[in-house]
Structure 1
Amino acid sequence: MFEQFQTTVVDTGAASIFVRHAGSGPAVYLLHGHPRTSATWHRVAPLLLEHGFSVVCPDLRGYGRSRGPAPQDDHAPHSKRAAASDIREVARQLGHDRILLAGHDRGSYVAMRLTLDHPDLVQRVALMDCIPITEHLRRTDARFATAWWHWFFFAQPDVPERVIMADPEAWYRPKADPATMGAANHAELMTAIRDPATVRAMLEDYRAGLTIDADDERADRAAGRRIEVPLCLMWSTRDDLEELHGDPRLIWKDWADDVEGHRIESGHHMAEEAPREVADVLGEFFSRDR
């Protein structure tokens, strides 16, 4: 994987962030979701290099080979604002004053927060399989809670760690097929999930989501803050986001001024399952300001 890429560990002050990066054009930052690492982009990243971009793939705080501070009762060290501050510092240390940003799953919430908090940094943003956390919560019913039960299970104290660490490979294996992911990507994931500190950090991500992150979104709404840069949405046709909530573009128009959307013929992990389609959408969207 990532044959043209170099790796760097960036000390952000609060965390150490493992980063894969390559290229010399406009900087595209790709933020992974749960429980993946930056390796999830191993098929998309080289295609974006071919489009003439620099590509930066970090492991989010606490995921993969990145490390963050110890968890706290308020979950603030694992909030999306904290994770977004890591990405801002990575960009500063790599010399990127403006970035093109894409996030998938949990990474999409970090991308959303970075775009809202630092519009001076983010030029365009793509969010994949995502609506705001508070929009999910506002629409929660028995159908959503049944389908997305893991949000509420992961938010419980202590129990999820004990359940997952009893056999982490068995827990994650059903959605981690090496043939679909790629063998090296799969091996990297298996290494990460065997680490109790990594599992704890991933769960803190969800605990922060239902508490401090949701509060931050409510504060955004109360203050009238919106995503002012162009927003591109992608959602998987074989996942359930549209089935549960309808066309996500309609939801995001309450949050952003300039919204477009693309259905991707894929399951949830679209960067692994439909890399060419993802890279083509990102490449076209990110090239518009050149």
Structure 2
Amino acid sequence: MDHEPPHGDQAGDELFPGFDEWDVPVAPGVALHGRSGGSGPAVLLLHGHPRTHTTWHGVAPALAAAGYTVVCPDLRGYGRSSKPEPDPEHEVYCDRTMAVDAVVLMEALGHETFAVVGHDRGCYVAYRTALDAPDRVTALAVCDGVPILEALERADARFAERWWHWFFFGASPHAERVIAADPLAWYRPDESRMGTGNYRDLVAALEDPRTVRAMLEDYRAGLGVDRANDAADREAGRRIPAPTLVVWSLRDDMPLLYGDPAKVWGTWCERPVGTAVINSGHHMAEEAPEQLAAALAAFLDAQGRGRSSRTTSQR
């Protein structure tokens, strides 16, 4: 599959030195924007809400230096990726659709198999890719999340108090109007914590009303079709065959809400899961990039570089 040549800007080049920038078609009328660099086994990094691929600017170069080919896209609807029209069933922005995007993207970049790392909403796309394309995913790392079905089944008053935005985003008819009226006031991105280039990339995305709409569609899919797909998989006894690392932030609320996150994931995985706790708040890739990159590299190295990726020539 053809894709547009690199067209990096100065801020992006500073964030991802030596990486190529691209827009790759993954479906009719849909292209993913992102960057890739390095050499060796392929690793796909999937960001969370409301971030863009530049959230990985401290992690991706470190993994590339550790001997990996690192691919960082904006999920469909986010960042500078395409923002297709939603559908009534919310399947256009569901995790299964985004998982197909991930596989097509990696094929287009020449990677038949790859490891996948997902944070926050990207975590859901990552484990859906591992479930739906087990022959492609060689290793999985899930950061600050549990399967959507597990989260919703634990949605007690404490969960609703802390994560009320799930239901505002996913169910309120007023969410798009309220957020799009002043997205920077809503999200309050902090340039000093994010870094200037990362901050600017996020702000540019948030100022596009279509991005807000697409991100809300992601949450609407989560409450509906994504939850249903999880339930069907659990009923059918489908489990993730790939080696799995469960990562959570020390200063987030994962243990408070779920107890031991590894035990939750253990019921979804064929193998015992590994764990890593990052000394950060929720946005671990920005707050503790060195620690996260080291944890991911150690996990990926343990899987064996020779088994981690089959790479073909780019098409």
In the superposition, the TM-score normalised over structure 1's length comes to 0.98
| Match 2:45 to one of 2, 7, 30 | 30
Q: Secondary structure at the match of 1:263?
A: strand
| Match 1:228 to one of 227, 231, 241 | 241
Letter in 1 for 2:17: E
Separation in structure 2 between the aligned mates of residue 234 and residue 116 of structure 1, nearest angstrom: 18
2:153 is the alignment partner of 1:138: yes
Residue in 2 that maps onto 1:203 = 216
Letter in 2 for 1:155: G
Residue by residue over 1:222-251, the C-alpha shift from the partner in whole angstroms, topping out at 9 and shown as x without a partner, is 110001111001100111111111110111
1:156 Cα offset (Å): 2.2
User: What are the residue-to-residue correspondences of 1:240-255 with 2, within 5 Å?
Assistant: 240-255=253-268
Residue in 2 that maps onto 1:101 = 116
Residue in 2 that maps onto 1:187 = 200
> 5+ residue gaps in structure 1?
none
2:10 is the alignment partner of 1:10: no
Separation in structure 1 between the aligned mates of residue 197 and residue 34 of structure 2, nearest angstrom: 17
Residue in 1 that maps onto 2:98 = 83
Any conservation in 2 of the 1:41–1:57 contact (CA below 8 Å)? Answer: yes
Any conservation in 1 of the 2:139–2:242 contact (CA below 8 Å)? Answer: yes
Residue in 1 that maps onto 2:178 = 163
Residue by residue over 1:68-122, the C-alpha shift from the partner in whole angstroms, topping out at 9 and shown as x without a partner, is 4210111000000001111100011111011011000000000010000001100
2:147 is the alignment partner of 1:152: no
Separation in structure 1 between the aligned mates of residue 109 and residue 61 of structure 2, nearest angstrom: 19
Q: Secondary structure at the match of 1:228?
A: coil
Separation in structure 1 between the aligned mates of residue 255 and residue 276 of structure 2, nearest angstrom: 12
User: What are the residue-to-residue correspondences of 1:234-273 with 2, within 5 Å?
Assistant: 234-258=247-271, 259-273=273-287
Any conservation in 2 of the 1:75–1:208 contact (CA below 8 Å)? Answer: yes
1:257 Cα offset (Å): 2.1
Residue by residue over 1:249-279, the C-alpha shift from the partner in whole angstroms, topping out at 9 and shown as x without a partner, is 1111110122111111100000000001100
| Match 1:124 to one of 136, 139, 145 | 139
Q: Secondary structure at the match of 1:192?
A: helix
Separation in structure 2 between the aligned mates of residue 110 and residue 245 of structure 1, nearest angstrom: 20
- Indicate the larger mover: 205-214 or 134-143: 134-143
- Indicate the larger mover: 97-106 or 251-260: 251-260
Any conservation in 2 of the 1:16–1:67 contact (CA below 8 Å)? Answer: yes
Any conservation in 2 of the 1:17–1:61 contact (CA below 8 Å)? Answer: yes
Any conservation in 2 of the 1:68–1:77 contact (CA below 8 Å)? Answer: no
| Match 1:213 to one of 210, 226, 231 | 226
Q: Secondary structure at the match of 1:226?
A: coil
Letter in 2 for 1:276: E
Q: Secondary structure at the match of 2:45?
A: strand
Separation in structure 2 between the aligned mates of residue 224 and residue 241 of structure 1, nearest angstrom: 25
Residue by residue over 1:199-230, the C-alpha shift from the partner in whole angstroms, topping out at 9 and shown as x without a partner, is 10000000000000000000101110001111
Residue by residue over 1:26-62, the C-alpha shift from the partner in whole angstroms, topping out at 9 and shown as x without a partner, is 1111000000000000000110011010100000000
- Indicate the larger mover: 11-20 or 213-222: 11-20
Letter in 1 for 2:102: I
1:137 Cα offset (Å): 1.1
1:4 Cα offset (Å): 1.1
Any conservation in 2 of the 1:30–1:55 contact (CA below 8 Å)? Answer: yes
Q: Secondary structure at the match of 2:112?
A: coil
- Indicate the larger mover: 157-166 or 235-244: 157-166
Residue in 1 that maps onto 2:289 = 275
1:161 Cα offset (Å): 0.7
RMSD: 0.9
Any conservation in 1 of the 2:139–2:244 contact (CA below 8 Å)? Answer: yes
1:132 Cα offset (Å): 0.6
- Indicate the larger mover: 156-165 or 28-37: 156-165
1:133 Cα offset (Å): 0.7
Any conservation in 1 of the 2:144–2:247 contact (CA below 8 Å)? Answer: yes
1:157 Cα offset (Å): 4.7
Residue identity (%)? 52
Separation in structure 1 between the aligned mates of residue 27 and residue 221 of structure 2, nearest angstrom: 20
